[in-house]
Chain A
């Protein structure tokens, strides 16, 4: 059951001109959070913008004793709501509803987990990495961005024992390519006796490409799809994606309650507009 918290902003750390991490005091949400879940955030008390926006829960913030006290959000300035959130100051209050959505299912060893992130699609993977570490599952993060300055929290993943493979479009860090190339090569190098599951979040066309690569290598792949949402609770049918049912027939399903995490084989990518 989700809770609605009028959360105090503990800090807003600007990572760049576009990205920031907003830490919120929300122990009730933090205590319930499973990897890959999201919250619906109201960026303003007023009526414009009117609706809440979905954000992956980036971190579960804990006291030294391990007690969860809050969550953080990875925000990228794109539209009106994300611009307001970029500018928010510590001490402000933000209505925050969650946790919501179907979480990632972390796999157990000896399977390995490969997380594939593009840009702000990094957001759901810190919680997953922690959960994988707790299970002793070996994990790798394939992380692509435009340029080195757009790669964040790499050391944080490394401290969690995650192997990180970076790529940038301009070659300023890691290989100069889209992240799909090092991923494809790593899958080529993987032995038949080794089992791996892919978890993907990023731009739609990147997720589509990774899904295709995973399928061609016969590897399991879950995708986290972000769509424009009205309510986050299944009430409005705004956030639908075209997904195949067990019989292979595509239907519109709500990404808020049937997702945001889906088995990539179910998704009809041509049906996604962005």
Chain B
């Protein structure tokens, strides 16, 4: 039974990637999961410099979901390379580094620095964080800027380049297309949905940042639809995400068109879920006689049954 998948030149042992922003730098979870058994680990979004992030409260729960406005707190790329990367390397993790800049030059600089570091498997371009004012999502909401940042990073690195797309646009497929034309190796989607919650007693927003990003099972059907739309628009591998919590959810994204998936919010609830997901995927493959999991990608059957009962 072959669970491996390919994202461009990057071969993953299985399609399960820990989602950026939901798994710290990976080391935090090394007590509960053998990092080498994951398809990959997308580490918390890094800027060039350390950042403190937003004032608390930073999260609030909503039905079947949660809003966050962490504000990309982080240690910066140099400390990451010095303090975290060697440990991740020792643990044989496939490390996907999520990078975020306020300007195009910062993305390029981050890509250069990380291309020289040993143990980085791919770069995920965070052009979709809804929680910071400068940079990030402003690139991800403009087709021309998406194209420029992807092509600029493409020029300075041999690493697979994976822009992470925002769902907070009218037509996400056109952004996948822009990324493909600019030389991306894959796209990952979706980041969180811009959202809001209010305490009606105090009339105050529940997040200090007022708005935040919605994740969790609540968003899954919209994310599946967006992966499906992107599958129609581009030939690039797609890394799908948004509310995945069960093996069935993983398979749903793959059938819709994803080659691999990321799991975030659900790993907060069950940090041991990776094994359960893999077991569930294997059971499905056995049940359906599937030898290679990658056959499933984009296998959605949309043929219609002949409506014989109408004509008869």
**Is A134's beta carbon under 8 Å from chain B?**
no
Rounded to whole angstroms, the CA-CA distance of A191 and B24 in the bound complex is: 47
CB distance from B40 to the nearest CB of A (A): 16
Contacting residues of chain A (45-78) with chain B, CB-CB under 8 angstroms:
47-52
In the complex, residue of chain B having the shortest beta-carbon distance to the beta carbon of A240:
B56
- The answer to whether B56 touches A50 (Cβ under 8 A) is no
- The answer to whether B268 touches A235 (Cβ under 8 A) is yes
The segment from A9-17, A124-132, A226-234 that touches chain B is A226-234
- The answer to whether A233 touches B271 (Cβ under 8 A) is yes
Rounded to whole angstroms, the CA-CA distance of A51 and B266 in the bound complex is: 9
- The answer to whether A50 touches B265 (Cβ under 8 A) is yes
Contacting residues of chain A (14-60) with chain B, CB-CB under 8 angstroms:
42, 47-52
**Is A236's beta carbon under 8 Å from chain B?**
yes
**Is B308's beta carbon under 8 Å from chain A?**
no
- The answer to whether A51 touches B63 (Cβ under 8 A) is no
**Is B91's beta carbon under 8 Å from chain A?**
no
**Is B216's beta carbon under 8 Å from chain A?**
yes
**Is B73's beta carbon under 8 Å from chain A?**
yes
Pick the residue among A2, A50, A231 that contacts B216 (CB under 8 A): A50
B47-73, CB under 8 A of A: which get 1 and which 0?
A: 000001101111111011110101001
**Is A273's beta carbon under 8 Å from chain B?**
yes
- The answer to whether B29 touches A235 (Cβ under 8 A) is yes
**Is A4's beta carbon under 8 Å from chain B?**
yes
Pick the residue among A4, A228, A239, A240 that contacts B271 (CB under 8 A): A4
- The answer to whether A252 touches B53 (Cβ under 8 A) is yes
- The answer to whether A235 touches B31 (Cβ under 8 A) is no
- The answer to whether A252 touches B52 (Cβ under 8 A) is yes
**Is B267's beta carbon under 8 Å from chain A?**
yes
B28 contact set on A, CB distance < 8 A: 233-235, 257
A51 contact set on B, CB distance < 8 A: 61, 66, 268-269
**Total number of residue pairs linking A and B with CB closer than 8 Å:** 95
- The answer to whether A4 touches B53 (Cβ under 8 A) is no
Pick the residue among B22, B66, B68, B208 that contacts A273 (CB under 8 A): B208
Sorting the interface of chain A by its residue count into under 10, 10 to 19, 20 to 34 or 35 or more gives 20 to 34
Rounded to whole angstroms, the CA-CA distance of A232 and B66 in the bound complex is: 15
Pick the residue among A42, A234, A237, A273 that contacts B55 (CB under 8 A): A273
CB distance from A39 to the nearest CB of B (A): 13
B3-44, CB under 8 A of A: which get 1 and which 0?
A: 000000000000000000111100011011000000000001
Contacting residues of chain A (227-274) with chain B, CB-CB under 8 angstroms:
227-228, 230-231, 233-241, 251-252, 257, 271-273
- The answer to whether B270 touches A240 (Cβ under 8 A) is no
B272 contact set on A, CB distance < 8 A: 4
**Is A1's beta carbon under 8 Å from chain B?**
yes
**Is A200's beta carbon under 8 Å from chain B?**
no
- The answer to whether A235 touches B23 (Cβ under 8 A) is yes
A207-238, CB under 8 A of B: which get 1 and which 0?
A: 00000000000000000000110110111111
Rounded to whole angstroms, the CA-CA distance of A95 and B64 in the bound complex is: 17
- The answer to whether B217 touches A236 (Cβ under 8 A) is no
Most A CB atoms within 10 A — which of B53, B57, B64, B268? B268
- The answer to whether B271 touches A97 (Cβ under 8 A) is yes
Rounded to whole angstroms, the CA-CA distance of A4 and B22 in the bound complex is: 19
- The answer to whether A47 touches B217 (Cβ under 8 A) is yes
CB distance from B170 to the nearest CB of A (A): 28
CB distance from A267 to the nearest CB of B (A): 13
Rounded to whole angstroms, the CA-CA distance of A227 and B269 in the bound complex is: 17
- The answer to whether A2 touches B53 (Cβ under 8 A) is no
Residues of A within 8 A of B (CB): 1-2, 4, 42, 47-52, 95, 97, 227-228, 230-231, 233-241, 251-252, 257, 271-273
